């Protein structure tokens, strides 16, 4: 089973709580990095914390949740080494893992219901990275990240 860091803003809080229960029941080790209520909060620090936990090896995967998942994905992707993918359908969840070796899943709680969110999460976690030509492309992404961070 996987070690998973999870975080959400107020809009994603209820889905986060639901997914924590699903993951825990499935034998995964879950780190809840907040938020801890539906009170309005800012998502960037929470999503960056998820990304840092994955980058630093404290989790195998990360999950970030918000209303649309857009801002959460953007915030997580600011962390070096994170490849966060916004996946609001099964196809994008599978492609994010197979072709991009995504290590953080972003979803919009106002876009997907709990049943679909569970299926997206299961697809993301069980899909291996295909490697091959995609490995070269993921390496190119890391090269761009390194180039930009040195400016």
Catalytic residues: 72, 99
Helix axes 44-55, 70-77, angle to 10 degrees: 50
Q: Does the CA dihedral 13-116-88-25 come out positive or negative?
A: positive
Pairing of strands 84-86, 29-32: unpaired
DSSP string, 48-96: HHHHHHHHTTS-SEEEEEESSSHHHHHHHHTSTT--EEE-SSHHHHHHH
- Preceding omega of 35 cis (within 30 degrees of 0): yes
Output DSSP code: residue 105: E
């Amino acid at each position: 089973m996987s070690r998973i860091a999870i975080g959400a803003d107020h809009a994603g809080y209820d889905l986060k709580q639901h997914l924590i229960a699903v993951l825990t029941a499935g034998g995964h080790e879950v780190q809840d990095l907040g938020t801890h209520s539906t009170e309005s909060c800012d998502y960037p620090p929470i999503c960056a914390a998820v990304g840092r936990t994955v980058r630093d090896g404290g989790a195998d995967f990360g999950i970030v949740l918000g209303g649309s998942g857009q801002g959460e994905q953007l915030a997580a992707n600011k962390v070096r080494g994170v490849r966060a993918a916004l996946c609001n359908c099964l196809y994008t969840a599978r492609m994010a893992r197979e072709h991009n070796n995504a290590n953080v899943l972003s979803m919009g709680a106002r876009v997907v219901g709990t049943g679909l969110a569970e299926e997206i999460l299961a697809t993301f976690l069980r899909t291996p990275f295909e490697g091959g030509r995609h490995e070269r492309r993921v390496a190119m992404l890391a090269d761009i990240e390194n180039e930009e961070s040195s400016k």
